[in-house]
Amino acid sequence: MRLGGRLAAAIEVLDDIGRRHRPVADALKDWGLSHRFAGAGDRAAIGNIVYDALRRRRSAAWLFDADTPRALAFGALLLEWDETPESINRALEGDRFAPAPLDADELQAFAARQAGDAPSAVRADIPDWCEPLLERSFGGDWVDEAGALAARPPLDLRVNTLLSDRPRVLAELAETGAAATKLAQSGLRIPPIAGDGRHPNVQAEPSFRKGWFEVQDEGSQVAAELASAQPGMQVLDFCAGAGGKTLALAAAMDNRGQIFAHDAEKARLAPIFDRIRRSDARNIQVLAKPAEVARLAGRMDLVLIDAPCTGSGTWRRRPDAKWRLTGRQLDVRKAEQAEILENAKAYVKPGGRLVYITCSVFRDENHDQIERFLDANPDFASLDHEALFADRLPGKTGAARIDRDRGIVLSPLRSGTDGFFFAALSRRV
């Protein structure tokens, strides 16, 4: 397929997402199934246009003064593919599968936009209602921080030190362009791919099948490292889900001690069993039943809450979530988070640690939750997050926003990772 056919397909998929409120991955998959002539390269290019259009939706719509699938797809090429209106129109010429080239009105709208500055929420590529939330979180940097959340993400891997080490996996993946991560101890990063390129399918690698590495954002790896799980500890991963953090904790503990992996939704735990087998983690018990968890009360050295959240820190990877999020959903998440903190505290033994993590950058889900919890629970105290970060990631303090008594924020702009929040509290003896 030429650019024109790919662009037409992206417009069709964006239309499907918009009209039927479909998840982007499902809409792309369906398009691929009903257009089997399209090769892997075509599908990747179409996916890139669609994801770029969703990441940069406000900017793309602003360029043509129209929030239509056509404006978004053309806008994506102009904003992220180094194309110009002239280069696009040249590429579409004589291509019978292409959408109509940019017409005089569109070219005029585009030219007019070059003169003026876009409003902040447009430059930040966010819904208007999120502006105060981000401003509260990032102060004067909020537009740049939000802009970084609208960029293409890298592909990050965590080397499983139970079965391999970073030099060995680096050698195995030499052809992928992977390099050691700057913050995470066992991380590898394959940088974002430009234009119509796609990341290698690392999960097809024999070294993945052998359990030598997992796909995990560097921010998630750093959050697990900051939790400071040590060999021999008793650990409860209270919101374990598919087990990304659980596996990182098992490696940090060198398979010694015990991790109990729990989740309120049994179905969310389903992938964890295969992942545990593949990674050779031998100190994880999965506890799906509330009664099994209850007997752990007051016995844990570390309770980790990887809380359900808006996911605003992962907008690079899930840009459709940015447009679907509502204030009502934020309120629901906040209530869940407060309740989980209250429930999980009972499992921490005196002198033990309660860790709270979100993949959101909103202060409302992060510092505010910690503040409220500490106010209501005088038997818990905040750790010194500056000292903790300096201890776990020596020489890297500039890579995070650290509030000594409330927690640590990682972000694409500051840390080069997805957005994450981390806070550690200790239960008084």
Ligand X SMILES: C[S@@+](CC[C@H](N)C(=O)[O-])C[C@H]1O[C@@H](n2cnc3c(N)ncnc32)[C@H](O)[C@@H]1O
Is 10 within 8 Å of 46 (Cβ atoms)? yes
Does the footprint of ligand X cover residue 241 (CB under 6 A)? yes
306 is known to lie in a ligand binding site: yes
Sites for ligand X among residues 146-205 (CB under 6 A)? none
Catalytic residue at 130?
no
The residue within the footprint of ligand X, chosen from 61, 239, 388, 402 (CB under 6 A), is 239
Does the footprint of ligand X cover residue 240 (CB under 6 A)? yes
The residue within the footprint of ligand X, chosen from 64, 110, 142, 238 (CB under 6 A), is 238
Q: Which residues contact 163 (CB under 8 A, 6 or more apart)?
A: 210, 211, 212, 279, 280
Q: Which residues contact 38 (CB under 8 A, 6 or more apart)?
A: 1, 9, 32, 46
Sites for ligand X among residues 348-387 (CB under 6 A)? none
Query: How many residues in total does the chain contain?
Result: 429
Closer CB to ligand X, residue 9 or residue 344?
Answer: 344
DSSP conformation letters of 116-168: SPPPHHHHTT--GGGHHHHHHHHGGGHHHHHHHTTSPP-EEEEE-TTT--HHH
Residue type at 68 in one-letter notation:
T
Sites for ligand X among residues 261-290 (CB under 6 A)? 263-265, 268
Closer CB to ligand X, residue 44 or residue 264?
Answer: 264
Q: Which of these ranges, 23-31, 97-105, 163-171, 237-245, lies near ligand X under the rule CB under 6 A?
A: 237-245
- Closest-by-Cβ residue to ligand X is 244
User: With contacts defined by CB under 6 A, how many residues of the chain interact with ligand X?
Assistant: 16
Taking residue 353's Cβ as centre, other Cβ atoms within 10 Å add up to 22
Give how far the C-alpha of residue 84 lies from the chain's centroid of Cα atoms, to the nearest Å. Answer: 30
Is 276 within 8 Å of 243 (Cβ atoms)? yes
Does the footprint of ligand X cover residue 244 (CB under 6 A)? yes
The residue within the footprint of ligand X, chosen from 43, 189, 245, 345 (CB under 6 A), is 245
The residue within the footprint of ligand X, chosen from 28, 253, 300, 340 (CB under 6 A), is 340
Is 353 within 8 Å of 426 (Cβ atoms)? yes
Minimum CB distance to ligand X, residue 216 (Å) = 8
Does the footprint of ligand X cover residue 136 (CB under 6 A)? no
Burial class of 306 by CB neighbour count within 10 A (0 to 12, 13 to 18, 19+): buried
Q: Which residues contact 223 (CB under 8 A, 6 or more apart)?
A: 245, 306, 357, 410, 420, 422
Closer CB to ligand X, residue 48 or residue 216?
Answer: 216
403 is known to lie in a ligand binding site: no
Rg of the chain over all Cα atoms, to the nearest angstrom: 23
Does the footprint of ligand X cover residue 260 (CB under 6 A)? no
Per CB under 6 A, residues contacting ligand X are 238-245, 263-265, 268, 306, 308, 336, 340
**Residues at the annotated binding site?**
263, 306
Active site residue ranges: 359
Residues comprising the binding site for S-adenosyl-L-methionine? 263, 306
